[in-house]
Structure 1
């Protein structure tokens, strides 16, 4: 669970909330991590998020070729590492 006012409930809540704020709450608009180098390994992962941002409903689901690509394209939002 990620809460952003104040940032909590997530290993990287403050960073994830900053990235979401810059993207207007749209996970798909978070800029990709510059210089990310991911292996060309097909190990698909699907990331899903639902909730509310600034009073509007958010539903996000996207399949990525592997977890590195997911992290490179979604920033800290799905980074649950401690």
Structure 2
């Protein structure tokens, strides 16, 4: 009889323990992406490399950029880069392109820039190929200036 009561006590302890765990899980707050949950809603890895495509380019430089909650990362000017991305609503096509103030040669020596990560909670994978480094530097942008 003693073994039966011990088994009942063990079973009751297991049931009560699982109920307490379930109650704690129900009371745990749900973190949304925008309320500072587990992962930052804006976290990017930016690269610059020599080559014609993402697959064939040799990465020369890479930095991290985080824009939430503040502008941080290994990017040399994260505040300017985040401000430019915010003004473009995270559209990398608006921050790459050609500048109109500088004359560049027509030499084909392609430079590939990439951005991978998360922008305001959505996955980003972007690639742009400049004809040469002069064209990349002529583009008035700070996101890929590192």
TM over 0.5: yes
Contact 1:2/1:8 (<8 A) preserved: yes
Correspondence for 2:139 = 73
Structure with the largest fraction of helix? 2
Gaps of 5+ in 1: none
Pairwise CA RMSD: 2.0
Q: Deviations over 1:21-75 (max 9, x none)?
A: 0111111012754523333332111111111111111110111101232233371
Instruction: Please give the TM-score of this superposition, normalised by the length of structure 1.
Output: 0.80
Q: Which of 83, 94, 103 in structure 2 is aligned with 1:37?
A: 103
- Structure with the bigger RCO (C-alpha within 8 Å, sep 6+) is 1
Matched, 1:50 2:116: yes
Gaps of 5+ in 2: 1-63
CA distance in 2, matches of 1:77, 1:24: 13
